[in-house]
Structure 1
């Protein structure tokens, strides 16, 4: 239908845009403090980027991507996440050329064919950061601390941080064998997806949302018991850093995240009042992704958060700012003769960088004053037949209703002075 948006999308209306701007401003201020620079990537990429980067056995690739052939017969996908795109841009534009660490952040629309529900849409908006080029666990801790700082700055309470290590290509095969051994006798009870994952990527079974699969996974081997010396040392140092920063966390051996590119650190912030949709921010290390996308072996770590989910949490705790009506001057033209002088005054005020509005419908004085109040005007400027005859305007202070008569010749300067004083 022409009068409804596609399922899983929504309009962000004028009365709500200020909430988004509030959140985005908080994000940009914080990223500036931590030295992250904004990047903007295309909304669609070659499908292979996401298949190789995210992992062909993930739900995102198998079930949720919006993929189509363009007119040249090329397979194109609307981005379901932005880490792979940021990595592609990092390589294509040689952001590594100066050496050292590259810190990026992004805010933008992502697309997944998912079941719409509270805080989850098919077009959703994501904020994420990527720190590329550093293998120290200290940068993992800094990335996590930025996420914690954002949630704290927004005033969110009841937030729980979970962390885990998902190992690396050296130690993960050992864990893979242990998982397959654990689930072997339970294989027929697993859902169809998990039965398929058993051979291809048994770690994905731990990420299954099916309640029965979750029950079957209870008591599964812990990957932290299979870590190689390097991964174990990295994880221990991360925990020391978080403790040193005073960031509380709990260990969750089943936390593997939903994307195949993660190595070593995996983490997730949960906002408990949201219930089933409590995961509000998450990420981890992805040391193999740059190489998978055609670059040299390069360590990296990052996170992402859905803005809709964050806004839902802020709404739950009544932390969203009210919309402030804002208008410096409302011009009231009484009668046809006053329209052109009032309209010229409107433009002159705009030239002075003042917020100015006027009524174009020629409504009554009462109706226009009501409109001025609705828009939060500081001053009303009234021009009618008497004012035109006297080459002056009536200026009303909307706070105390005091009125003065000001000649047209000095009107602009008078209003500018009053507004800016």
Structure 2
């Protein structure tokens, strides 16, 4: 996910922005809430706060602020936030991302991000439950962080979108020329700002956790433990041979699965957002990435990874043996950068983990590593995009018809 520091879409974001549910409108929300409605009555308790149009949190969060947060909610996600959940910063870290001040950042991408919106809804509910546990002062810490992070998020999105637009040229023309340096530089820039954002979120959440009483901590344990528990049977095939008979020897296939269980590249998601193929809204065809399963980490993402990997397998069935080989060869070329991503990823986790132990974390190191990690993800992104471009433009009419039919099959929500 993947964890993708850069444009990696791993879904975490701002639970204070619970769409319209925070604004007291109760209609699934505007902006950040779009595509996530249908669960709940549209209002959260928020610790007994008045739901009238004039309600505030800590004297700061007004309806106009809510609108701002809903706007932010449709923007980016923080990679580092997700990492903190992965290492179970909280007792039930697998259940919901408590580094959240919100899960709605991808909630309004309903039509573009396959199951991103649905899994965001699940985590948003958990995030709101977490907010119910907090005092006004504790919620104020998170809100102050959100305001502080807004310009970081804007810079992240600007760089991300530049990279997406350049990559998207490969979908627009068979003979398109792209500026690879631009893509790599913008990916690295996005990673820089995501590192800043993730560090700020971590510091804010540590402050909240350290201020919690024993009774508050006790409430963390039962939160959603059964309702959103991950059902491993739903994506038991998240792993497995990538290309059937062309998967290479067992050790190599196993290595790919190990990589895929720990990291998801930025580009796989960026191209999904750019509607790389007719199916891009429902399955991530920068595929070698569809197998990055989070089944042990969190319900929604684990299920979505399984569903997308299934869809990608169907996509491979449409391909000729030669087309499959193009994808496989690209996967081999990406191994070096994927390993680098994992190594840097571990360094970042170790540095951030210091906050949990009461030590100081080096923000400059985290940011530099995040930037470098993202540059490697940019390299993988280019490799994936060029490989898929070659395959996509080689499709004959019959294959395109099959692709369109597969898109129809996947056009309905499958989670949530």
Greater share of helix residues, 1 or 2?
2
Which structure has the bigger radius of gyration? 1
